[in-house]
Structure 1
Amino acid sequence: MPELEPIEPTQAVDLYLNAKQSDVTDKTIENIRYDLSTFTDWCDEKDITNMNDVTGRSLHEYRIWRQDDDVSDATVRKNLSSIRVFIRWCESIDAVSEGLADKILVPSGNSSRDEKLAADDATELLAYLRKFEYASREHTMLMLLWHTGIRLGTLRSFDLDDYHPRKQALDVRHRPETETPLKNQKRAERTLAVSDDVATVLSDYIDVHRKDSADDYGREPLFTSVYGRISESNIKEVCYRLTRPCTYGSCPHDRDPDDCEATDSKKAYACPSSVSAHPIRRGSITHHLLNDVPQAAVSDRCNVSSDVLDKHYDRRTKDQKAEQRREYIGEL
């Protein structure tokens, strides 16, 4: 994990806007500057003088502060969307902790969506990848993230021999001594069964598209890069790039492709609809629950406790939960 470099909020905003000058119009810069001015005003009020000190909790406090400021829900969503893109950029210059942007939950609304990949979008994206990038590294990674609900670190940890094609299963192993730890350590170790379709894509990726490579410890990663094992930042970049709606469909934000900085693959995170691996996990878990997979099974498969699942991952509405309970009760 790189060491954070101190920078004042206003200085970070100035650098960010300066970096965007050549990519967007003056009007867009003006709009972004206004959105971020509310954040720097809040930092001044809270005596936050270093972006290194901004955390998920403080961003949640900003959201509450903004909602109490007698502005519309649409304005709050717009402010938070701009701040999320700014925080992603701050991650790239080591101004804030990695993954902080993913902790910003934009309120749902007609012009926005919860910070998760919706099932319809996942289905459309995977259909596109199956047709145009079948069994590529990117297709295989996105397919595994969606169908298993695993964490980014788990995806990165897989070795080639962790996959058992005859059993159609993947071993999840905690190996901190060779730099592939699991979040919940030994408790996260398990075997993941995969479907016929997922197993077929995995096998085809290994046979055709996987580049032979070893990491610094002599292990053979399942997902490789020119440097050996794929990095976490590389996985995030793939997720951001592929989950832009314009990748597999049309833009829902009425943006002009000639003016949208997110059309640059290296800046895909700037798309308001693009997501990293964690929102894909959240969307996958919600999809499992909506399709009547028992909560205990989801908990075991995705390595998340029932309490944490309820609090942070289950995005079913109260009405959806009630209807599912009604179906079970009706069978008694």
Structure 2
Amino acid sequence: MSAPVEDPSELSVREVYEMFLDAKQLDYTDETLRDYETRLRQFVEWAEDQEAIETVGDLSGWHLEQFKLFRQGQDLAPTTIKGQMAACKVFLEYAAGIEAVDEMLPYKVNIPKLEQSEETSDVRLDADRAFRLIQHYRDSPTEYASERHVALELAWFTGARLGALRALDLDDYRSDDQILWFRHRLPSTPLKKKEHGERPVAVPDPVCEVIDAYLEGVRYDKRDEHGRDPLLSGRQGRPAASTLQTWVYQATIPCAAAPCPHDEDPRSCDWTARNTASSCPSSRSPHQVRTGSITWQLNSGLSYEAVAERVNSDPDTLRRYYDKADDVERLEQRRREFVDRLEFDPDDQD
């Protein structure tokens, strides 16, 4: 940062951006902070290309609208633009708080209002395919309890976020009780909702059998840089988020358990390689596995409240963003028992 100034409005947009990231380190998890860093970087770089914007104090509502139109012209998803403009508002609220911009400027950010269909993605790991894949790994003499197998079992049967799965330690798993404890630990493995995200999650016996086999014969006995014993462990200790993500992509390549839906030969297909599994159109990310799991749990008869507690969310969020059951699924799997109660026997009528 340049030499101190008496008037904060004379700071550059980038200088205030860096101050914002520093100031929010205590408020946000590392993952949330990275999201803000990524979303705001585009705005900072755009502002630096504008001749009329020399300092943060030059920003106006017109500039904010121009930036939104600029991003819309890049054919981005509506959710991407909404997220970026929402981040700009938070950034400008900070800037207004230190008197670097006009106090009314944050209210001039035009955040798009989206339909629910625009705000959510329907891409998920369907339950039928999830069970075919899981059964394949459970029956496989070579892939049973492999890294990709255990990652899929944990992701599907807990519905947890990627960061929460990565945060699990050996002591968080209680085989006899069939429980996984998700705990918020700083600085390396925070949970999305910090201490409020801590909870025990019960898993079925077959899942515990997979975990036990993984711990006995596959897991690397390595500690992480903080001296902790991660449940999921690689050659270097606790795997990076990208590594765990790769395991899930590999686990969900459809040709593992069924013919390729894209008419590719698995023996020569580039998508079956470790570093390219995410390129397969039918492989699924950890978030898409989470979405499919939540939908399946709801279809299985669990209430919104029960599922929300298991996956560290809240019922309204599940209804709006994660519940991807179509109308037929809702009727057949959730409401049928109630419909049956509406039947009557004519012989019982007076």
TM-score (norm 2): 0.63
Map of 1:291 onto structure 2: 300
Q: Does 1:184 align with 2:193?
A: yes
Q: Which residue of 1 aligns with 2:162?
A: 152
Q: For 2:336 and 2:71, how far apart are their aligned partners in 1?
A: 49
Q: Do 2:308 and 2:318's aligned partners in 1 also have CA atoms closer than 8 Å?
A: yes
CA contact (8 A) 1:158 1:222 kept: yes
1:57 alignment partner, one of 53, 67, 79: 79
1:120 equivalent in alignment to 2:142: no
- The 5 Å alignment of 1:126-275 reads 126-132=134-140, 133-177=143-187, 179-255=188-264, 260-275=269-284
| Cα distance between partner residues in 1 of 2:301 and 2:79 | 33
Distance 2:263 2:147 in 1: 30
Question: SS state of the match for residue 176, structure 1?
Answer: coil
SS of residue paired to 1:191: strand
Shift of 1:248: 2.1
Q: In the alignment, is the contact (CA less than 8 A) between 2:120 and 2:321 conserved in 1?
A: no
Letter of the 1:246 partner, please give it.
Answer: C
Which amino acid is the alignment partner of residue 47 of structure 1?
Answer: F
Q: Deviations for 1:65-99, whole angstroms, at most 9, x for unmatched residues?
A: xxxxxxxxxxxxxxxxxxxxxxxxxxxxxxxxxxx
Give the CA RMSD over aligned residues. 3.3
Q: Percent identity over the alignment?
A: 38
The offset of 1:143, in angstroms, is 0.5
> Which amino acid letter does the alignment assign opposite residue 219 of structure 1?
R
Letter in 1 for 2:136: Y
Residue number among 309, 323, 327 corresponding to 1:314 in the alignment: 323
SS at structure 2 position matched to 1:215: coil
Is the CA contact (8 Å cut-off) linking 2:71 and 2:81 kept in structure 1?
no
Given that residues 255 and 266 in structure 2 are in contact (C-alpha distance below 8 angstroms), is that contact kept between their aligned partners in structure 1? no
Q: What do residues 211-263 of structure 1 show as CA deviations (whole Å, max 9, x unaligned)?
A: 10000000010111112101110111111122111222211123455875323
Quote the offset at 1:182 in angstroms.
0.5
- Give the equivalent residue in structure 1 for 2:108: none
Query: Does the alignment pair 1:47 with 2:70?
Result: yes
The structural deviation recorded for 1:137 is 2.3
* Bigger Rg over Cα: 2
Distance 1:45 1:304 in 2: 30
The SS at the match of 1:221 is coil
Deviation by residue 1:1-50 (Cα, 9 ceiling, x = unmatched): 7886x89xxxxxxxxxxxxxxxxxxxxxxxxxxxxxxxxxxxx9943499
CA distance in 1: counterparts of 2:254 and 2:147, whole angstroms: 20
Aligned partner letter, 2:271: A
Q: Deviation digits for residues 158-177 of structure 1, max 9, x if unmatched?
A: 00111112222111100122
Q: What corresponds to 1:10 in structure 2?
A: none
Counterparts in 2 of 1:56 and 1:150: CA distance versus 1, 3 Å: farther
Does structure 1 conserve the Cα–Cα contact (< 8 Å) formed by 2:294 and 2:322?
Answer: yes
Contact 1:59 1:104 in 2 (8 A): no
Letter in 2 for 1:289: L
Choose 284-293 or 253-262, whichever is displaced more.
Answer: 253-262
Alpha-carbon distance between aligned partners in 2 of 1:233 and 1:207, rounded to the nearest angstrom: 24
Helix, strand or coil at the partner of 2:209: helix
Give the match's secondary structure for 1:219.
Answer: coil
C-alpha distance in 1 between matches for 2:162 and 2:319: 20
The separation in 1 between residues aligned to 2:280 and 2:270, in whole angstroms, is 8
In the other structure, the counterpart of 1:98 is none
Q: Which amino acid in structure 2 is aligned with residue 148 of structure 1?
A: T
CA–CA separation in structure 1 for the residues paired with 2:228 and 2:268: 44
Note the residue ranges of structure 1 that are not aligned, 5 or more in a row: 8-43, 62-102, 107-113
* Structure 1 residues 321 and 48: alpha-carbon distance in aligned structure 2, compared to 1, 3 A threshold: closer
Tell me the amino acid that sits aligned with residue 79 of structure 2.
R
Structure 1 residues 218 and 259: alpha-carbon distance in aligned structure 2, compared to 1, 3 A threshold:
closer
Q: Counterpart amino acid of 2:245? A: K
Mapped contact 2:219–2:234 kept (Cα < 8 A): no
- State the aligned residue count: 247
